[in-house]
Amino acid sequence: MMNLNGHLLYLDITQRCGVDCSFCMYADKHRNGINFQMSDTASQNLRALINDPSVKRVSVSGEGEPLNNVAVFHQILQLSAGSQAFEFISSGFWPHDMLTDFIEVTDRQVHGNGDKCNIRLSGDSYHMEKIRHKPHGFCLDYWLKTPPDALSLSFRSVDTDRDFTRAYLLEQLAEYGWDGRVEPHGELDDILWAGGQSFRIDYKNHVNPSPSTPPGYLDLADYISALESKVGKPFTLGSLNPHPCENGIDLTMKPDGRVYLYGAENVLLGNIHHDVFSWDGLRQRIADTPLLRQLYTTPLQELLDRLDGDLTASRIISEANNPYWVVKNLSQEPDLIERMIAG
């Protein structure tokens, strides 16, 4: 069986969103989107997956805004047996009084379970122009004055917006009377310092950049190179862990319960409401499926080099501009996938 450890369980709990960001890859799902609803079988599956010692993090977000299904997020937290790391990725669009209630309820639950949870707020210009109740300065002020017991705070942005994000967060701090500074940390992350505390800022490369996207974003090859520098080894699909740790499985659950490996979404693994999942079973599925085995064991750049000179592949790589979305889009071209596998 393949050596895979340090898994990421990514739970998309909603397709609903009213923020309407112009770069959103899931905007077509928002009008008639669904919320994930917990079933008995889903609860049993998630409990087993969450509490396995091979899991490094459970990340909760959505093809929409997860605050639109926060009750299910708290149900997911209840499944933990303790000593687990959770993450909640959000625009934080709620009014500040509702956001305070959310922080306090979540902190009590996470602390009571003996877990940790990172609240990760989007901090790019695409979100900021849409969000009426700006959460960033409010949350920073909250963390600096009354740090929660079990919650940390961080931010995420797109790589074209580094200067915007840095300036915006410092302006937000100043509005609440705090001085801050941003310490650059490589191509994909910064550290925001204020009041003796540090807050991470992560940058993702721009997916599906339009012709109007400002210059400055990393192309796919540069983004893969930046990821490899960050973890100290070649990039393969899955959950990246720093050298010398083994990589893990990157498992994604959609709001309707369908389960995939992130990026390889042409291979349906089953449904969380009807099938039984285990990390050992998933390891075996990867080992037994030629495409998945290649994606998890061969550096992605090497696989893409096998398609060098193909105009369709070149177009997909340029347009998607993200390793997971490139694989997802290439999977719609069976001949290209066969060439990647064959070598």
Kindly give, in sequence order, each residue whose CB lies less than 8 Å from that of residue 71, ignoring residues fewer than 6 positions away: none
The residue-averaged pLDDT of 137-159 equals 97
**pLDDT class of 30 with cuts at 50, 70, 90:** low
The label of the residue with tokens 């963390």 reads 143
The residue-averaged pLDDT of 115-140 equals 94
Kindly report, residue by residue over 212-255, the tens digit of the pLDDT: 888 888 999 999 999 999 999 999 999 999 999 999 999 999 99
Kindly report, residue by residue over 97-115, the tens digit of the pLDDT: 999 999 999 999 999 999 9
Kindly give, in sequence order, each residue whose CB lies less than 8 Å from that of residue 45, ignoring residues fewer than 6 positions away: 272, 275, 276, 277
Kindly report, residue by residue over 1-27, the tens digit of the pLDDT: 689 999 999 999 998 876 666 666 655
- Single-letter residue type at 52: D
- How many angstroms separate the CA atoms of 121 and 173, rounded? 15
Q: Give CA 128 to chain center in angstroms.
A: 19
Give the sheet arrangement for strand 116-122, strand by strand.
Answer: 180-185, 189-194, 197-204, 151-158, 116-122, 85-90, 55-61, 7-12, 250-253, 258-261, 270-271
Residues in the chain: 343
DSSP state of 205: P
Q: What is the Cβ-side half-sphere exposure of residue 158, based on CA atoms within 13 angstroms?
A: 23
- How many angstroms separate the CA atoms of 180 and 196, rounded? 9
Q: By the 8 A CB rule, do 267 and 330 touch?
A: no
DSSP state of 80: -
Q: Is the pLDDT of residue 283 over 60?
A: yes
3-state secondary structure 122-164: ECCHHHHCCCCCCCHHHHHHHHHHCCCCCEEEEEEEEHHHHHH
The pLDDT of residue 329 is 93
Q: Is the pTM of this model over 0.85?
A: yes
The label of the residue with tokens 């961080």 reads 154
Identify the three-state secondary structure at position 273: coil
The residue-averaged pLDDT of 143-154 equals 98
The pLDDT of residue 61 is 95
Closest-CA residue to 46 (of 79, 74, 75): 79
- How many angstroms separate the CA atoms of 124 and 162, rounded? 8
- How many angstroms separate the CA atoms of 216 and 206, rounded? 10
DSSP state of 211: T
Q: By the 8 A CB rule, do 173 and 134 touch?
A: no
Q: By the 8 A CB rule, do 296 and 303 touch?
A: no
**pLDDT class of 44 with cuts at 50, 70, 90:** very high
- What's phi and psi for 336, nearest 5 deg? -70, -40
- How many angstroms separate the CA atoms of 320 and 208, rounded? 5
**Which helix (H) or strand (E) segment is 183 a member of?**
strand 180-185
Mean pLDDT of the chain: 94
Closest-CA residue to 237 (of 222, 224, 254): 224
